[in-house]
Structure formats: C-alpha cells, structure tokens
Amino acid sequence: MKRGALVFAVVALLLLADGSYLLVSNNQVGGDTGVLFGNPNMSLSAGTVVLISGGLLLLGAVIMWVAAIRREGRVSGGRGQVSRPLAGEAPTRADAGHDQMRKGQGHQRQS
C-alpha cells in the first residue's frame, strides 16, 4: 500500500506542476474551460481544474500512506503475532522436530 501511495504522490506532484504551469502561462488548452460539478455559472480555467485534480490525488496518497502506517503498526504489535520461546525455556516437541527437519532434511520429508 505504501508503493501505491508513493505512485499516487508522484503523479499528483506532476499534475500540480502541470496545473501551475497552465495557470501561470494562462494557457487554456484549446480554449476549453471546465465547470465545477456541472455548475455552468462557475467556469474554471484548465490550470485550476488540473490543480484541483492534483490536490485531490495528493490527499488520497496521504490517506493511503497513513492507512499503511497504521496497518503496519497494528500487524507488528497485534494479537496475531506468534511469540518465540525465551532463552531459558525448553523447546516443545513440535519445535524440536521442526529444527531437526530444517537442519538435516531441508525440503525432503521423513517417513
């Protein structure tokens, strides 16, 4: 999810740069003006529409990043984590068998 947030952030920054250029240069991209939410009384320049799009995309990237950080914190310290025995504790039968297979047999199975 962090990778997706980074991709969204990079695309948002490119859109913000393009929108800033369109706004500063007063370029109307073929004379087209946008309307915000279908309201014909409020027409926006192409640069403003691109800036709004880039801002919303950047907001989505930030929300995804925060969600990924919160999920990572919940998973690493959550209830589902399996704990290892302490140094002074004796390994159980399952642990001993698992260690023996890992040392001697690799991926082969004993019968």
Provide the residue range defining the domain that includes 26. 2-78
Backbone dihedral region of 29: left (phi > 0), alpha (psi from -120 to 50 degrees) or beta? left
Q: What is the pLDDT of residues 86-102, one digit of tens each?
A: 666 655 555 555 555 55
Please count the structural domains in the chain.
Answer: 1
In the prediction, which pLDDT does 39 show?
76
- Assigned domain for 107 exists: no
With respect to residue 22, please indicate whether it lies within any of the assigned structural domains.
yes
101 found inside a domain: no
Is residue 94 a part of any domain in this protein? no
Confidence of residue 83 (pLDDT cuts 50, 70, 90): low
64 part of a folded domain: yes
pLDDT the model gives residue 58: 96
Write down the pTM of the prediction: 0.60
Band of pLDDT at residue 73, cut at 50, 70 and 90: confident
Per residue in 16-71, pLDDT (tens digit) is 999 999 889 887 776 666 777 777 787 788 888 889 999 999 999 999 999 999 98
The pLDDT assigned to 103 comes to 57
> For residue 98, is it within any domain?
no
